[in-house]
Amino acid sequence: MILLFLRKHTSLPLILKGILHPEDAKLAIKHGADGIIVSNHGGRQVDGAIGALHALPKICDVVQDKIPILMDSGIRRGSDIIKAMALGAKAVLVGRPAMYGLAAAGEQGVKEVLRNMVADLDITLGLAGQRDVKQLDLSILYKTS
């Protein structure tokens, strides 16, 4: 398997992107992945693939914090970050908004987009009565009792 080959040739962390099925997450752990990124590559690769946000909870259920889970696909605003982290992601990846900022205003545009996203996250956390993304769980999304 390619993961074993890579493990032999590097001491860098190996993080697999494009995991959408719980069985693939199990295999990633079994074969020594240091983390996984739940992503459908923006839906560009396989039209009609499951949304990454829908795949995230089941993947978190099987991984059970053995390795970090990052979320990619569709992170555009603070509320997207809150949803992903409440569903179990340890962090999110922000690609497209950063590229928009880069196209509009270069390095300064990227900085501005990321500043705005952090500010939106902070405001949305406050509006939801939360202080820290580390405290988020399913109760922020669903009535749990």
Question: What would the pLDDT profile of 26-44 be if each residue is shown by its tens digit?
Answer: 999 999 999 999 998 766 6
pTM, to two decimals: 0.90
Question: What would the pLDDT profile of 36-91 be if each residue is shown by its tens digit?
Answer: 999 987 666 667 788 899 999 999 999 999 999 999 988 999 999 999 999 999 99
Asked if residue 145 is part of any domain, the answer here is: no
Confidence at residue 49, expressed as pLDDT on a 0 to 100 scale? 80
Beta carbons of 27 and 19 less than 8 angstroms apart: no
Asked if 41 is an active-site residue, the reply is yes
Number of domains in the chain: 1
1-10, 74-83, 84-93, 125-134, range with the lowest pLDDT: 1-10
DSSP string, the chain: -HHHHHHHH--S--EEEEE-SHHHHHHHHHTT-SEEEE--GGGTSSTTPPPHHHHHHHHHHHHTTSS-EEE-SS--SHHHHHHHHHTT-SEE---HHHHHHHHHHHHHHHHHHHHHHHHHHHHHHHHTT-S-GGG--GGGTS---
Average pLDDT, rounded, for the chain: 93
Question: Closest Cα partner for 92 from 62, 123, 56?
Answer: 56
Asked if residue 45 is part of any domain, the answer here is: yes
**Residue 50's CATH number:** 3.20.20.70
Domain containing residue 66? 2-140
Task: Catalytic residue, from 9, 21, 31, 41: name it.
Answer: 41
Asked if residue 23 is part of any domain, the answer here is: yes
